[in-house]
Amino acid sequence: MKKVFLLGALFTLCFATNSNAQQTEVFEKKGYKLTFENQDANFSPELKNKLVETFYTVYPKLAKAYNKKTLKNVTFVIDTAYNGVAATADGRVVFSSKYMTKHPHDIDVVTHEVMHIVQDYGQSTGPGWLTEGIADYARYKFGVDNEGAKWALPAFKATQSYENSYRITARFLVWIETSVKPGLVKNLDAQLRNHTFTNDSWKQETGKTLDELWTAYAANPVIGA
């Protein structure tokens, strides 16, 4: 299990709005600015710190690995009205306060969501299942405490499809990286961002079509530790 190191000294600005008692803090470190907007007066300060620490642990690594031009300014919102888990758009990550309070160890929701910022695919014609699969691949590879959240890639089942997205697709990508073509995820990510990805990209990168790769994976789905 990886450990999250405490942040060093940060520039912090705190204030409360009159309309909804929202508390906003601004952190600057490692060349990145994180604005943390908290709508939940009862949200755990310890959990807030973990979310911030996770951002500063993983976001620079994701930027270095996949997109050095990613946004420098990111916003986290702890939303009391949102009933999902988390959602990301335009450099803004909205977290459900109810979910995060109930699952305080699932801090690598941060890793998945900020990978979406790094991806920055815009109006890419790539499939949504691949976008989410790459984000969960990033969580698998860069997550700081997947073990603590009891988050892991699922065992292969014959009923699965690469289009199932998220962890199922992520596991397939791990298999390709370890058994077929190291660096594939980085290459596909760049193609999706540059809008050069096509259905032929799989064959161009690996010599096999997507369906051929899945057939080979299903025949021997073992991945490394």
Last residue of a domain, one of 119, 154, 186: 119
pLDDT per residue as tens digits for the range 150-194: 999 999 999 999 999 999 999 999 999 999 999 999 999 999 999
pLDDT per residue as tens digits for the range 26-65: 999 999 999 999 999 999 999 999 999 999 999 999 999 9
pLDDT per residue as tens digits for the range 108-124: 999 999 999 999 999 88
pLDDT at position 214 over 80: yes
- Give the CA count within 13 Å in the CB-facing half-sphere of 111: 26
Number of domains in the chain: 2
Same-domain check for residues 78 and 138: no
The answer as to whether 4 is a domain residue is: no
Residue 76 sits in a domain of what CATH number?
Answer: 1.10.390.10
Same-domain check for residues 97 and 153: no
Q: Which pair of structure tokens corresponds to residue 177?
A: 């990286």
Question: Within a 10 A sphere around the Cβ of 26, how many other Cβ atoms?
Answer: 17
Dihedral Cα 2, 5, 132, 70, nearest 10 deg: -140
The answer as to whether 7 is a domain residue is: no
Same-domain check for residues 151 and 62: no
The answer as to whether 35 is a domain residue is: yes
Last residue of a domain, one of 60, 95, 119: 119
| Structural domain range at position 195 | 128-219
Q: What is the residue-averaged pLDDT of the chain? A: 92
Contacts of residue 95, Cβ cutoff 8 Å, sequence gap at least 6: 51, 76, 77, 78, 79, 82, 85, 86, 109
Same-domain check for residues 141 and 183: yes
Q: What stretches of the chain show up as alpha helix (H) in DSSP?
A: 45-66, 97-102, 109-119, 128-142, 166-179, 184-194, 201-206, 210-219
Whose CA is closest to 169, among 204, 209, 142, 137? Answer: 137
Same-domain check for residues 163 and 98: no
